Structure 1
Amino acid sequence: MKTNSRMQDCWEALNFVFCVEFWRMAVFWPFALVSSYWQLFSRAFFSGISHSYPRCSPSPTPTSISGTNTTTRPLCIITGATSGLGAASAHALSREGFYVVLVGRSSHLLSKIVEEIKKQDADAHLKAFQIDLSCFQSIINFKNELEQWLSDSNMHSSVQVLINNAGIFATSCRFTNEGYDQMMGTNYIGAFSLTNLLLPLLRSSPVPSRIINVTSFTHQCVSGTRVDEETLAGKYFSRSKQYPCAHIYEYSKFCLLLFSYELHRQLYLKDGSCKVSIFAVDPGVVETNIMREVPSCLSQLAFMVLRLLGLLQSPEKGVESIVDATLAPPESSGEYFFGGRGRTAKSSELSYDRELARKLWTSSYNLFMKSQLVSKYTS
């Protein structure tokens, strides 16, 4: 049985090596990563200027219980909190004094992370919700359950931090209940939908609130892209003979980045302030299980090479940029955090295309409204 299993693993690895997507990941992704680090190095070495922001203590949230004015911990929602960066973020931000709401697909893994944090800090304030970000109805249910929980807990009906961290890397074509490509549905459409549904709670925060979108250096590999509804849903990619997993992953992270900048512009222009700040975060390469669908021998080989080059980080190290963005001054809204130590960088030139961002917003919002109509109809 073990011999057959090894043979199957070797055969899967061989097939993957001979596909275009493997070489795209093997060549373009390391180049994009190194260019990001080179940007940080060249800024500091040649110009002597380091674009970084200090960390500020989180502001307590006023509330009223039995007529007595009190304060409570700011509320931070983290998606994809069952492992990797999401779990590391929950650990780190709980220590920083946040009331952490963990969101993930597995109730068992959520309970495990909550238990681990409680062991390290008995005073940690935690709440877990099971949610599938690739399913719009699941997102709606979470929003309703969250509002009910806030009301029952006598907490202020608001959210101070939303971290859109959930993401997958799929090597085969799968579709969500709404008919979207699962990778696009989880990595981008789910984050867009959740953000829009929770925006009223972020706006109603008595202290400045923020949205943090966890993107990737792989967005630099995207060029001359389409942002129509068909492409966002993944139907355009499904025409390929071979599932373009690397392309779709890059595209989903690029859309999340483009969405971040557009939302920053919309909120800043409408409010005339930074009441709701928007940040994009690139944690670099972190050793998580996101590549679990890639043949294990190849993913382990890639991790070994990156570790030797000093480019592979543990989740506890990779989470630094997320914490930087969570604690950055509100006026730094619209920045792209990368490299830890409060440092920021410039994303790809295409990601600053305002016209493309407006088109993306229109297409994304149309899909969002269609999902809402379907949800109401089925309800």
Structure 2
Amino acid sequence: MIMVVINLIKDLWRGLHFVLSIQFWRMALLWTLSVLVSHFQLLKDSLFSHKIVYPRCSSSTFPNTPVCVITGATSGLGFSTACKISKEGFVVVIVGRSEQLLSETIRKIKDLNEDAQLKAFQADLSSVESIIKFKDSLRQWLLDSNLHCSVQILINNAGILATSPRVTAEGYDQMIGTNYVGAFVLTKLLLPLLENSPVSSKIVNVTSFTHRAGRVDEGTVSGKKFLSSKHYPYAQVYEYSKRKRHILDELVQATLYL
């Protein structure tokens, strides 16, 4: 009984410490403001800007079955996107860290769409070695199948929010490594497959409204400066990582003609 009370007090103390932390109030206030700014921008664009229509990578315009690669597809936005695209006639390649979650995701999508064409690959986007293995496995699978050896859509969706500091094998902060470095490396490695597409291919980088709060400089590129902080500024690290992915999206648009 005494231990139960002690553990309860510890949990209450941790909760109180979290609520009173700067990072909590940064998320509560600054992120809420970012959401409001984003919605205002969308409203303004819908009322006063010309609607931009982007050409679709449709399965009807592709001689073979098109392929869409989605990272972080076992839950949330990634899962919803995989469900939707599977109904568009694409072979959907779902990428995730957990084999169990990948299997469950395939089952769930099949329950919603029994005709869905799916392929799962296990990969850790915080590990460059794991990304390279995934690229090799994907290319070999394309060669062994009846599909064209190319990718039509790449959706960089995988991302994490960690409240404690962790370091990747390459020495990056784990949030930076997963949310930005992993997306950058994967995009670079899959470029040959994207460029090999007979039709215009697409790269979609899923970012966040929190990118408005992030500011990138030389000291925040790897996230190493945060690892030595007495109190890990996880909210700021998340903002930096999403800002960098937003910059990646801008670089892709500016330099690639896919």
Q: Given the two structures, how large is their TM-score scaled by the length of structure 1? A: 0.64
Q: Does 1:209 align with 2:238?
A: no
Contact 1:59–1:207 (Cα < 8 Å) also in 2: no
Q: Give % identity.
A: 51
Residues 90 and 258 from structure 1, CA distance in 2 versus in 1: closer, same or farther, beyond 3 angstroms? same
Q: Does 1:258 align with 2:247?
A: yes
Residues 87 and 2 from structure 1, CA distance in 2 versus in 1: closer, same or farther, beyond 3 angstroms? farther
**Matched letter for residue 228 of structure 2:** R
**For 1:250-291, what per-residue CA distance to the aligned partner results, in whole angstroms no more than 9, with x for missing partners?**
0000000111111211114xxxxxxx1xxxxxxxxxxxxxxx
1:33 matched residue in structure 2 = 35
Q: Does 1:196 align with 2:188?
A: yes
Q: Does 1:237 align with 2:226?
A: yes
Which aligned pairs between 1:223-302 and structure 2 lie closer than 5 A?
223=215, 225-226=216-217, 228=218, 231-268=220-257, 276=258
Gaps of 5+ in 2: none
Contact 1:61–1:206 (Cα < 8 Å) also in 2: no
1:110 matched residue in structure 2 = 102
- Cα distance in structure 2, aligned partners of 1:219 and 1:144: 32
2:141 matched residue in structure 1 = 149
Q: Does 1:135 align with 2:127?
A: yes
- TM superposition shift of 1:2: 6.3
Shifted more, 126-135 versus 6-15: the winner is: 6-15
**Matched letter for residue 43 of structure 2:** F
- Cα distance in structure 2, aligned partners of 1:192 and 1:111: 26
Contact 2:131–2:186 (Cα < 8 Å) also in 1: yes
Which aligned pairs between 1:28-67 and structure 2 lie closer than 5 A?
28-45=30-47, 47=48, 49=49, 51-53=51-53, 56=56, 58-60=58-60
- Cα distance in structure 1, aligned partners of 2:233 and 2:110: 41
> What secondary structure, in the 3-state scheme, does the structure 1 residue paired with 2:220 have?
helix
Contact 2:83–2:109 (Cα < 8 Å) also in 1: yes
- TM superposition shift of 1:44: 4.0
RMSD value over aligned CA atoms? 1.9
**Matched letter for residue 58 of structure 2:** P
Q: Given the two structures, how large is their TM-score scaled by the length of structure 2? A: 0.92
**For 1:119-145, what per-residue CA distance to the aligned partner results, in whole angstroms no more than 9, with x for missing partners?**
222211000000001011100100110
Which aligned pairs between 1:149-168 and structure 2 lie closer than 5 A?
149-168=141-160
Q: Does 1:76 align with 2:68?
A: yes
15, 27, 32: which one pairs with 1:13?
15
- TM superposition shift of 1:249: 0.4
Gaps of 5+ in 1: 63-70, 269-275, 277-379
Shifted more, 157-166 versus 117-126: the winner is: 117-126
